[in-house]
Structure formats: C-alpha cells, structure tokens
Structure 1
Amino acid sequence: MHQMNDLRRIDLNLLVILDALLSEQHVTRAAERLHLSQPAVSHALARLRDLLGDPLLVRAGSGLVPTARALELVAPLAEALAQVQSLLAPNTFDPASARRTFRVAMSDYGAAIILPTLIRTLRREAPGIDLQISHASREGMLEGVLNGDIDVAAGVFPEMPNELRSTLLFEERYVCLLDRASLPADGVLDLPTYLSRPHVLLEMRGSGTPEIERALTSLRERRRVAISLPHWNVAPQFISGTDLILTVSSRGLRDIDPRELVVVPPPFEIPPFTFVLAWHKRRGGDQALNWLNRRIEQGIVRG
C-alpha cells in the first residue's frame, strides 16, 4: 500500500514513462516505445527520481538497472495502469473489429489441447487479435502473470497465489503408454513391472510431474528415469519399439497409433489433477481478456 500511495502522487503521464523505463531499462528504447524524444524521457526520469527520492535506474554498461526501490514499484505500477486502462476501456468489446495482442503461457501439452480450436475461432470471429505463445515451468508461468509479462496462463497450478484468479478447464487423469509388444502377456501392467522398466519424464526447468513422484514416494518406491525432456509432442515417439514407459495425462494420447502403442492404467493410484486458466485479478475489468478466456473454455468443452 505504501508503494501505491507514492504512485498516487505522480501524474499519469509520468507513470506511463516509468513503466516503459522499468520494462526497457534503456532511455532511448523507452522513448521509441512511447514515441517521445530522448530528452523528454530523460527529463521525466529526473522528475520521477525527485518525486520518489530514489535513483530508480542506475547505469550498468550500455543500459540501466532498476534499484531495489524501483523493483518494489513494478507490481503496484502495473496494477495502477491496469486500473486506469480498465476505467477508460469501452464497456463493450467487439471482437470483429478489435486489434489486440495477447501473451499466453502454456506447455506444448496445453497448446495441443487449446490452440487448434482457439485459433480457428480467432480467425473466424476476431481476425485482428494476435497471440504470442510462451513456454515455461509452472512457477515461471505464474510469475509472468504476476509481473504483467503474461496476460493469461494455462496449466496445472496446485498452489495459486492470492493475487491471481483461475477457472477450471478440465480434470485430467494419468495413464501409462507402452509399446504394445512390451505389454505383459496378461495385458496388465503391475507395479513390479512398472518399477523394473526405464521411464520417460516430461519436465521443464525442474518442474516435472511431481504428482507421480509423490504417489511413488507414498509407496516408498522410486522409478528409474532414462530420458528426461521438456517436449511433450515427441515423447510418445520414443515408446514404439522400446521397453520405455511414459506416464502422462490421458488427453495428450488421443492420436497415438493403436497398432504399435497401448494405453493402460498406472499400477498405483495417482490423484487426478485440474487444468486451469490463470490471470491477475487486476485484469478482471478487461473485456477483451474475458472474451478470450471464455472462448478458450468453450473450445475445451467442444473439444
């Protein structure tokens, strides 16, 4: 609240310039982004330093580095500008005429489920809306939403920060993918066989599938991970012709070749998980983002 009160003492133009400076960390680039002259941005930075009693940005090589005080201002500044944008935005959103770019974070698993239907919807109903898709760990996606780099994230987020809002897209369960020839003769994958086989693990920057490991830990068991990789789409290709096992959510295995591969239940209980959309609560008044979220939800239902 202290940071927000400090920002309330500054006029809106200076807030916009401060936001650009903290984002670009370079006076010239901030000026180009705002279509202002470099002296005008430098003068604004001098005023901001005087008003806030802090250098805010200090020289480091060819750029600028934010001070600790400036870093404290990033979140309340984004909130203040979002509130102003929401206040000035029209009450209705017309997708047919809108021009907007949304930054959406999701894994390639999420992309495979969400994007085909969503992109067809955008081309049909909102051809002026563009998407920038990024890929990160669960923690990285939530951090992007918190700091304003991401508009909405789609994924599995067991721990949701209080500043964020979410909506359920679907509940998912885990299954095991094996080469059909490697399945035991009785067609059942039991726990000893599961533990004796090498496994493929999907993870991104250390954020893998903790639900599986927790379930095994509760049994006081461990599995051997022979291949660890961040790419969802290529993982099923490793299974054919091998003794590898891939334990993943079921929706990602809709297009496998049943002549070569087989999907079976895991031989131990793994709790189901929820796949959600997450966005910052300060974006609640953004009609365009609300429309996009609804279209994503509707696409999942139809899918």
Structure 2
Amino acid sequence: MNNLAGIDLNLLVVLDALLAERHVSRAAVRLNKSQPAVSHALARLRDLFNDPLLVRHGGRLEPTIRALEIAPRLAEAMARMRSLLAPVGFDPATERHVFRVAMSDYGAAVLLPRLMATLRVEAPHVDLIVSQASREVMASQVVDGEIDLALGVFPAHGEGIRSSLLFRESFACLADASRLGGSLAIDLAEYLVRPHVLVSLRGDASNEIDLALAATGNARRICLAVPHWSVAPDLVRGTDLVLTVARRILPQADADGLAVFEPPFAIPPFDFEQIWHRRRDGDPGHRWLRALVARLLGDEEPVTTAGVKYGAQRTL
C-alpha cells in the first residue's frame, strides 16, 4: 500500500461509492459503471487491503471494522481531490450537482417545499437525495461522508463537525376546538387528564416535552406515538387528544376546527441547526447550499441568488 505507482487509484473511487451506498447495484449506477465491473473492483479492493471490506447482511453490504476505519479518511481524501479538480466557483444557474441531505420529517416540512421551489428557479440542474435517521445516525453519516449536510437538533457535535444555527423553535399545543369548551386553551390539570399524541422516531418519553413536564413533577399519558409530524395534526380532529409540537409545523396543517394554544408549563426552546464536516468548508457548492438553507429558514426576507457565482473559500 506504500507504493502508489502500483495501485489503480480508480479503485478508491469505487470503494468510496460502495461505502456510501452499501449496495453494488446502486454504487454501479452512481459511478455509471456495470454491476460486474463494480463487483470485480470490490474483489481487487479486498486483495489490496487484505480484508473483506464489505460483507453481505440481508440485502445490504455491511462494512467491516477495517472499512469503518478507512471510510472517514477516504471520504476526506476524495473531497479534497474533488475540490482540487473542481472549478474555482459554483454557478447555481448552470452547475450540475447532486447533494445528499439528511433531515427529520419536521425538517422536511419546514424546508423542502421552499427549497425545491427555489432550486427549480435558481438552480434547475441541482438535485437532492433526502434521507431520514436519528440525530445520532445523521451526525455519524456527516462524519463518514455518507451525506453532505444534516438538519436537525444536535445537542452535541462530534469531532470535525461544523454547525450553524438556522432558527430557535418553541412549542405549541393543538387540540380540537370543539372539545375545549370555548376557552381555546387548557390549564395544567386538564393537560394531565387528557390523552396525548407523541411524535417520536423511538416512541419513548426522553424528549424535550416530557423532560420539561417531569421537571414539574408530572407525567402525561401518551396514548399514541407516531414517527411522522405530517400526520399528527389530523389525529386530534374530532377527539380529546392533545398534540404538543414545534410551533413551525402547525402552519403546515389545516387548522380549520383546531385550536393552537400555549403549553400550560414551560418548555425550553430548541435550536434547529445544519451541520457538516469541516472537509466541506471550502467546497463552493456546499457553501452555496448552506447559505441557501440559512436564507430560506432565517427570519429575514429571502434575497435571490440568481446570477451569483460562489467562489472557493480561501483560508488565510
């Protein structure tokens, strides 16, 4: 491995794709190669590293310990090579690029409609591949180079991760207005009596709402836990259920017949961020995407980027 003259460096491009896709056929599509060619390259990589690198588990290829050690270093090296060979700027009006972005159902609801509408006008050749995972998995995917950008709530940042605050979010309650007795709000006693809907990937009570309620010495009854924000508002219609959610998600729902009101106890707000790895800092396209996301989710009036070319960032 020390003599680069005897190594086909194109194999590393294949390995980078295989580690990202965990699937031979998808890696072949990504590389515009045939499946047999990618399989042959994997066999050569296994000989080169003297390790299986990827082993089949179900319908996926799972990386070995050696491959997991290689992945972040390889992703960083590939990013540096792309940066070296890429043009010195990024023109969103003409550039062809695919970004891989991870976000929750909530993040998709508040960002994707505005983002796609903007991309179709300002960057018609820029495509997105959006995935969803827990905050811990998204952070590890950023570090490993599997995704370019992650949006969500990240209380802790791993080594090499950069972040920027997009907005600070608060909570509100949603209930069927006809079940509130004309007050359009409830007190803490009524809140505790009523059944609740919880939006959570894991369905447990280790969330901001229940932790804040526990701090008051109380607990609520969660009669339904769902993993998606989008379906939750309709679940309270015609019932005595209460939904406590991030406030920005509520305008996405049809509020006809539903009442929005303040929680009857204090829930700390949370910071919604975008995170990326430091190896992406100088990538002009990545800088453009981060700036666009920040603009769309910020409180200021959007400003068009049409005709603006994003140059490579220079570090003094």
Give the C-alpha shift of residue 223 in structure 1.
Answer: 0.6
Structure having the higher helix fraction is 1
**How far apart, in 2, do the equivalents of 1:90 and 1:256 lie?**
43
Structure 2 residue 155 is the aligned partner of structure 1 residue 172: no
User: How far does the alpha carbon of each residue in 1:79-123 deviate from its partner, in whole angstroms, 9 at most, with x for none?
Assistant: 111121122222110111111111222223222211222112111
User: In the alignment, is the contact (CA less than 8 A) between 1:27 and 1:42 conserved in 2?
Assistant: no
Question: 1:238 corresponds to which letter in structure 2?
Answer: L
Structure 2 residue 78 is the aligned partner of structure 1 residue 81: yes
User: In the alignment, is the contact (CA less than 8 A) between 2:177 and 2:184 conserved in 1?
Assistant: no
Mean CA deviation greater in 17-26 or 256-265: 17-26
Q: When the two structures are aligned, how many residues end up with a matched partner?
A: 298
**How far apart, in 2, do the equivalents of 1:85 and 1:14 lie?**
16
Question: 1:35 corresponds to which letter in structure 2?
Answer: K
Structure 2 residue 27 is the aligned partner of structure 1 residue 35: no
User: How far does the alpha carbon of each residue in 1:30-82 deviate from its partner, in whole angstroms, 9 at most, with x for none?
Assistant: 66736379579747844x55554444356789996643212221121111111
Give the C-alpha shift of residue 140 in structure 1.
Answer: 2.9
**How far apart, in 1, do the equivalents of 2:208 and 2:178 lie?**
28
Mean CA deviation greater in 275-284 or 203-212: 203-212
Partner of 1:276: 273
User: In the alignment, is the contact (CA less than 8 A) between 2:24 and 2:38 conserved in 1?
Assistant: no
User: In the alignment, is the contact (CA less than 8 A) between 1:145 and 1:151 conserved in 2?
Assistant: yes
Select which of 129, 153, 158 maps to 2:155: 158
User: In the alignment, is the contact (CA less than 8 A) between 1:179 and 1:262 conserved in 2?
Assistant: yes
TM-score by length of 2: 0.81
**How far apart, in 1, do the equivalents of 2:282 and 2:46 lie?**
31
**How far apart, in 1, do the equivalents of 2:59 and 2:235 lie?**
46
The 1:45/1:267 distance shift into structure 2, 3 A limit, reads same
User: In the alignment, is the contact (CA less than 8 A) between 1:7 and 1:15 conserved in 2?
Assistant: no
Please list, as runs of the form range in 1=range in 2, the aligned pairs for 1:78-227 lying within 5 A after superposition: 78-183=75-180, 186-206=183-203, 210-227=207-224
The two structures, once aligned, show a CA RMSD in angstroms of 3.2
The 1:44/1:270 distance shift into structure 2, 3 A limit, reads closer
The 1:8/1:161 distance shift into structure 2, 3 A limit, reads farther
Question: 1:251 corresponds to which letter in structure 2?
Answer: R
User: In the alignment, is the contact (CA less than 8 A) between 2:184 and 2:259 conserved in 1?
Assistant: no
Question: 1:279 corresponds to which letter in structure 2?
Answer: W
User: In the alignment, is the contact (CA less than 8 A) between 2:107 and 2:151 conserved in 1?
Assistant: yes
User: How far does the alpha carbon of each residue in 1:122-156 deviate from its partner, in whole angstroms, 9 at most, with x for none?
Assistant: 11111001112222222232233222222211111
**How far apart, in 2, do the equivalents of 1:28 and 1:183 lie?**
55
* Helix, strand or coil at the partner of 2:289: helix
Structure 2 residue 292 is the aligned partner of structure 1 residue 295: yes
Give the C-alpha shift of residue 198 in structure 1.
Answer: 0.2
User: In the alignment, is the contact (CA less than 8 A) between 2:20 and 2:145 conserved in 1?
Assistant: no
Structure 2 residue 228 is the aligned partner of structure 1 residue 240: no
The 1:184/1:138 distance shift into structure 2, 3 A limit, reads farther
TM-score by length of 1: 0.84
Structure 2: 5+ residue runs without aligned partners? 303-316
Partner of 2:314: none
Give the C-alpha shift of residue 162 in structure 1.
Answer: 2.5
Structure 1: 5+ residue runs without aligned partners? none
User: In the alignment, is the contact (CA less than 8 A) between 1:202 and 1:208 conserved in 2?
Assistant: no
